């Protein structure tokens, strides 16, 4: 068993897994740097074996940054088993190679496509009502899950070894990603309505409600059109230029 | 005026460089996202509320672009830092955030006037940030190779130190790119807008950016027809609440 | 129905789930790889990327072709993922027709570098030439949002 102190060092190292991100090796150096304190401890006095272990892990690696934690944990356990001469488990380097692609997919789909948009929409909606608390809520919603995955993932990986695969599967993150997107849609509805009710032209409650409904309809229509444009390969900057420049010129010229 | 612009550019580049580290090199706690980065710049330049409006809007516009694999999206951190800095500088130059006239309404008017302009001006320049970023990601291979060389030869080195050299490079290139863009941008903003007063006439351009942000976000979280229904239902429920509460 | 054929040596990962699936409105992913299908750990992990609304299948090349021939539900909008060009050609030669092939990730150590994610060796170039002759267009893109890179085949002999 590695010590609590080493576990903490690996945990902190996991926050720097992309510090030396490069096109060729991606998170390779970061992964090796994060796990090396554990490898040195696992192989203890056997300097050569420790060095070989570090060498094994100083290779191309890429997945979602948070999903490295369960992998690092599992690899630590597998390295221990390898040291003890157990033959049954998959070799650590091989295990790492097999899981990185799918774990990248699971992490990207939950954190980038599900949780972060939800936190963004919640934060932006909160900013309308409570100002500077908006960003605070954004960070709180997002990082609760983020930090949980980094810490809990590392611990579970170390406890379960290759069995962490079943654990991650059991979390059913892809399904939660879809749920998060429904929740984000709800937040956006609230956001659209409140943003409209806040613009200064609306006077009176019923008036504000009318603006709110109008905005919800306009945003739905715009989102539908955007879907068509994106499909045709039009980029977001292009859409911003196309509409904003004429409107700016109009605004500037109409003043004279 | 030049000294002020340079000092602001210096502060913005330093803070932006640090915030950007969170985007790739370290932590990934999302303080690099527009909704956090822009208000921080606002706080540094003495106008957090303007920063917050910029942040919320850019957060939505760049909601879906994620770093998957080797694909590197628009540098949303540097872009938000620059849009916030330029918006606030324009507001200052127009005299809306100082003296007897300052107030919430005026700041709002300033944001309306300055945000679309700043966004349109800064978007093409985000290419500079992209280049700095790409350069770093190429150069970082060097640290990997030197670490590998040491390990192969059985030399015991600190991988952590080699790894952190990448982080230092990320910071340096990014902060330099930010300074390169922000120094002239902030100076010109002060120069051009010191005698202008563009108030509510730019509301349509501002409203367009807001609608676009929400539409991009809706498009990004779209799953199926049920998602669209959830959006509409929640919006209309909120509208009814506004009417009666 | 096959809506996209993707060559990716990392098989299933974030670019496919987060970018291609929503872009193509896919509701099924078919990973055709003898190696992955023969490894229970790999098929379990790849399988766990699915959710309600996205079915993920990991099959050997033969089983995948069987499924595509009509054993599987024909209505599913399927993204077919193969690990390398050899497998893509094998599937094509077994009678599964497609008009375009997306090159996502190919890293062959000693190959020619076209983009950071696409390094092709002589054998790959030969297969790509064959695909071209058969009228299959070649789409070099890691994610839908990135600008498509042009694939220019290497000169027939000599000149690199």
* ipTM score of complex: 0.92
Spatial distance between the Cα atoms of B80 and A212, rounded to a whole number of angstroms: 27
Would you say residue C62 lies in a domain?
yes
> In whole numbers, what is the pLDDT of chain C averaged over residues?
86
Which residue of B76, B77, B119, B159 is the best one to mutate when testing the A interface, meaning the one whose CB has the most A CBs within 10 A? B159
Neighbours of chain B (3+ CB pairs under 8 A): A, C
Statement: residue C119 has pLDDT above 60: yes
| pLDDT for position C71 | 58
Would you say residue C72 lies in a domain?
yes
Spatial distance between the Cα atoms of A199 and B172, rounded to a whole number of angstroms: 41
Would you say residue C64 lies in a domain?
yes
Cβ–Cβ under 8 Å, residues B97 and B46: yes
| pLDDT for position B70 | 67
User: What residues contact residue B136 under an 8 Å CB cut-off, 6+ apart?
Assistant: B166, B169, B170, B173, B174
Cβ–Cβ under 8 Å, residues A88 and A40: no
- Nearest by CB to residue A223, choosing from B151, B219, B244, is B219
Cβ–Cβ under 8 Å, residues C61 and C33: yes
pLDDT confidence bin for C160, thresholds 50/70/90: very low
Asked if the Cβ–Cβ distance from B71 to C146 is below 8 Å, we say yes
Cβ–Cβ under 8 Å, residues C132 and C154: no
Count of domains for chain B:
1
Interface A-B, measured as beta-carbon pairs within 8 A, has a size of 325
Which tokens in the block code for residue B174?
Answer: 């990014």
| pLDDT for position A41 | 93
| pLDDT for position C158 | 41
C138 touches chain B (CB under 8 A): no
| pLDDT for position C156 | 46
Query: What range defines the domain where residue C54 resides?
Result: 2-105
Strands (E), B93-194: none
List C-alpha distances in Å: C121 to C109, C110, C114: 8, 7, 11
Choose the weakest-confidence range: B89-103, B188-202, C41-55, C121-135.
Answer: B89-103
Q: Which residues of C touch B65 (CB under 8 A)?
A: 145
Q: Which residues of A touch C116 (CB under 8 A)?
A: 23-24
List C-alpha distances in Å: A102 to A109, B9, B86, C144, C159: 10, 43, 42, 19, 39
Cβ–Cβ under 8 Å, residues A73 and A163: no
pLDDT tens profile B181-208: 999 999 999 988 887 665 667 788 888 8
Distance from CA of C103 to the nearest CA of B (A): 14
Query: What range defines the domain where residue B159 resides?
Result: 2-243
Would you say residue C142 lies in a domain?
no
- Nearest by CB to residue A109, choosing from C17, C45, C145, is C17
Does residue C53 or residue B30 have the better pLDDT?
B30
Which tokens in the block code for residue B210?
Answer: 């807001």
Q: Which residues of B touch C10 (CB under 8 A)?
A: 69
Spatial distance between the Cα atoms of B38 and B96, rounded to a whole number of angstroms: 19
Q: Which residues of A touch B242 (CB under 8 A)?
A: 193-194, 197, 205, 208-209, 212
pLDDT tens profile B22-62: 999 999 999 999 999 999 999 999 899 999 999 999 999 99
Spatial distance between the Cα atoms of A245 and A222, rounded to a whole number of angstroms: 18
- Nearest by CB to residue B52, choosing from A118, A132, A199, is A132
Query: What's the rounded mean pLDDT across residues C60-79?
Result: 83
Q: What is the CATH number of the domain that holds C52?
A: 3.40.35.10
What is the percentage of chain C residues whose pLDDT exceeds 70? Answer: 92
| pLDDT for position B100 | 47
Distance from CA of A209 to the nearest CA of B (A): 5
Across the strands, what pairs with C105? Answer: C8
Name the residue in chain B with its Cα closest to that of C22. Answer: B223
Listed as ranges, residues in chain B with pLDDT below 70 are 66-70, 97-105, 196-200
Would you say residue C110 lies in a domain?
no
Query: What's the rounded mean pLDDT across residues C51-77?
Result: 85
| pLDDT for position C148 | 72
The CB density around residue A3, as the number of other CB atoms within 10 Å, is 11
Listed as ranges, residues in chain A with pLDDT below 50 are 256
Which B residues, 137 through 176, put their C-beta within 8 Å of a C-beta on chain A?
137-141, 143-144, 147-148, 151-152, 154, 156, 159-160, 162-167, 170
| pLDDT for position C159 | 41
CA-nearest of C51, C46, C65 to C5 is C65
Count of domains for chain C:
1
Spatial distance between the Cα atoms of B17 and B179, rounded to a whole number of angstroms: 10
Q: b vs e for A87-108, b when ≥16 Cβ sit within 10 Å of the residue's Cβ?
A: eebbebbebbbbbbbbbbbbbb
Query: What's the rounded mean pLDDT across residues C12-21?
Result: 88
Cβ–Cβ under 8 Å, residues B72 and B99: no
| pLDDT for position B65 | 74
């Amino acid at each position: 068993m590695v010590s609590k102190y080493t576990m903490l060092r690996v945990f902190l190292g996991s926050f720097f897994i992309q510090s030396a991100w490069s096109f060729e090796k991606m998170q390779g150096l970061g992964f090796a740097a994060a796990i090396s304190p554990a490898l040195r401890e696992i192989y203890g006095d056997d300097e050569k074996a420790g060095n070989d272990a570090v060498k094994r892990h100083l290779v191309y690696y890429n997945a979602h940054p948070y999903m490295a934690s369960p992998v690092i944990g599992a690899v630590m356990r597998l390295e221990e088993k390898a040291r003890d001469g157990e033959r049954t488990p998959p070799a650590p380097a091989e295990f790492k190679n097999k899981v990185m692609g799918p774990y990248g997919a699971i992490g990207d789909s939950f954190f980038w496509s599900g949780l972060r948009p939800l936190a963004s929409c919640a934060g932006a909606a909160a900013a309308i009502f409570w100002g500077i608390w908006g960003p605070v809520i954004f960070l709180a919603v997002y990082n609760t899950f983020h930090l949980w995955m980094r810490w809990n993932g590392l611990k579970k990986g170390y406890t379960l070894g290759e069995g962490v695969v079943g654990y991650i599967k059991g979390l059913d993150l892809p399904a939660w990603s879809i749920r998060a997107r429904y929740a984000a849609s709800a937040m956006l509805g609230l956001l659209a309505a409140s943003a409209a009710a806040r613009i200064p032209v609306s006077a009176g409650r019923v008036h504000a409600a009318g603006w709110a409904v109008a905005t919800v309809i306009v945003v739905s229509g715009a989102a539908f059109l955007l879907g068509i444009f994106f499909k045709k390969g039009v980029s977001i900057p292009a859409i911003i230029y196309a509409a904003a420049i004429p409107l700016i010129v109009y605004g500037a010229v109409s003043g004279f | 005026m030049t000294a002020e612009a340079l000092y602001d550019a210096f502060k913005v580049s330093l803070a932006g460089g640090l915030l950007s580290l969170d985007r790739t090199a370290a932590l990934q706690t999302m303080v690099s996202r527009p909704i956090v980065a822009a208000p921080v710049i606002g706080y540094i330049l003495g106008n957090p509320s303007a920063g917050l409006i910029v942040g919320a809007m850019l957060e939505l516009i760049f909601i879906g672009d994620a770093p998957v694999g080797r694909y590197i999206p628009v540098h949303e951190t540097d872009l938000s830092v620059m849009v916030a800095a330029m918006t606030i500088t324009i507001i200052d130059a127009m005299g809306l955030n100082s003296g007897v006239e300052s107030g919430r309404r005026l700041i709002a008017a300033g944001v309306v006037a300055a945000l679309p302009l700043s966004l349109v001006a800064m978007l093409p320049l985000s290419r500079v940030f992209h280049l700095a970023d790409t350069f770093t990601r190429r150069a970082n291979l060097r640290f990997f190779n030197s670490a590998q060389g040491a390990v192969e030869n059985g030399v015991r080195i600190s991988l952590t130190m080699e790894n952190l050299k990448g982080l230092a490079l990320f910071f340096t290139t990014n902060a330099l790119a930010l300074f390169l863009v922000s120094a002239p941008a902030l100076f010109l903003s002060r120069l051009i807008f010191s005698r202008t007063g563009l108030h509510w006439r730019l509301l349509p351009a501002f409203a367009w950016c807001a609608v676009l942000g929400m539409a991009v976000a809706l498009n990004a979280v779209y799953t199926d027809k049920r998602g669209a229904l959830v959006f509409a239902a929640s919006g209309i429920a909120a509208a009814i609440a506004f009417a009666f509460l | 129905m096959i809506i996209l054929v993707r060559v990716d040596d990392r098989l299933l990962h974030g670019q496919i789930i987060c970018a291609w699936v929503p872009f193509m409105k896919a509701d099924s992913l078919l990973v055709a790889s003898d190696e992955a299908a023969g490894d229970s750990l790999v098929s379990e992990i790849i399988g766990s990327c699915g959710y309600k609304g996205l079915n993920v299948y990991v099959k050997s090349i033969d089983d995948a072709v069987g499924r595509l021939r009509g054993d599987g539900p024909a209505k599913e909008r399927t993204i077919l993922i193969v690990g390398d060009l050899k497998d893509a050609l094998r599937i094509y030669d077994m009678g599964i027709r497609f008009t375009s092939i997306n090159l996502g990730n190919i890293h062959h150590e000693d190959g020619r570098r076209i983009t950071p994610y696409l390094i092709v060796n002589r054998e790959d170039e030969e297969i790509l030439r064959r695909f071209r002759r058969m009228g299959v267009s070649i789409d070099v893109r890691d994610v839908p949002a990135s600008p498509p890179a042009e694939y220019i085949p290497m000169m027939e002999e000599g000149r690199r």
